[in-house]
């Protein structure tokens, strides 16, 4: 067992020979250190970031509000139609309804669903309202897919395939390639 000898007393008095047990002391030290480390992380997370206002001559240019990007929202909650909406923030810029007509094929005993009319309509809408069409533009337009929890996976894949059918040129330093015009995300129910 670990301990510390404090030495004997000198002189005519009674010798003080005590041994201090170090195990509880080490345990207390480890608990204290771990408590300090844990609270240091939490105090860092509770910190507020503040920007200092630098004094000086105000600029002549008025502050600019960057324009919010337009996103294509595809509503496929019903079985009868698709609703395509271009939204800029919460504002609806354009809305189109399209009958939901699917084409079923079988490949390797797997049923595959395609929406060719949807793919054509998405391409038309992108040519009209898409923002990132330049070959030198690194960004792609965003498509948000709205669906309910009952929609089968094969229908979701069919809509994503229709979105990825719309492609644009993307210039790289050595070549130009075709890439999908949309980056697909899902809406939260």
Buried b (16+ CB within 10 A) or exposed e, 33-71: eeeeeeeeeeeeeeeeeeeeeeeeeeeeeeeeeeeeebb
The predicted pLDDT at position 58 comes to 62
Residue 89 lies in a domain: yes
Residue 138 lies in a domain: yes
Residue 43 lies in a domain: no
Mean pLDDT of the chain: 81
Nearest to 116 by CA among 95, 100, 127: 100
The total number of structural domains that make up the chain: 1
CA distance 75 to 5: 79
Residue 49 lies in a domain: no
**Is pLDDT above 80 for 16?**
no
pTM assigned to the model: 0.62
Residue 99 lies in a domain: yes
Residue 100 lies in a domain: yes
Residue 173 lies in a domain: yes
CATH number, residue 159: 3.30.420
CA distance 61 to 17: 81
Q: Which domain holds residue 98?
A: 70-186
Residue 22 lies in a domain: no
The predicted pLDDT at position 51 comes to 56
pLDDT category at 117 given cuts 50, 70, 90 is very high
Q: Is 181 exposed, middle or buried (0-12, 13-18, 19+ CB in 10 A)?
A: buried
Mean pLDDT of 22-50: 78
């Amino acid at each position: 067992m670990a301990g510390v000898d404090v030495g004997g007393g000198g002189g005519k008095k009674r010798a003080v020979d005590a041994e201090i047990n170090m195990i509880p002391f080490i345990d207390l030290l480890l608990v204290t250190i771990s408590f300090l480390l844990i609270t240091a992380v939490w105090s860092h997370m509770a910190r507020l970031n503040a920007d200092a206002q630098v004094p000086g001559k105000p600029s002549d240019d008025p502050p600019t509000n960057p324009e919010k990007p337009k996103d294509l929202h595809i509503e496929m909650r019903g079985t009868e139609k698709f609703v395509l909406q271009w939204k800029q923030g919460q504002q609806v810029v354009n809305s189109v309804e399209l009958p939901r007509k699917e084409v079923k094929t079988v490949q390797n005993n797997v049923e595959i669903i395609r929406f060719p009319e949807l793919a054509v309509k998405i391409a038309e809408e992108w040519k009209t309202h898409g923002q990132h069409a330049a070959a030198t533009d690194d960004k792609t337009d965003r498509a948000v897919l709205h669906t309910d929890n009952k929609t089968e996976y094969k229908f979701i894949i069919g809509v994503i395939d229709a979105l990825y059918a719309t492609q644009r040129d993307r210039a790289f330093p050595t070549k130009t390639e075709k890439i999908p015009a949309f980056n697909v995300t899902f809406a939260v129910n």
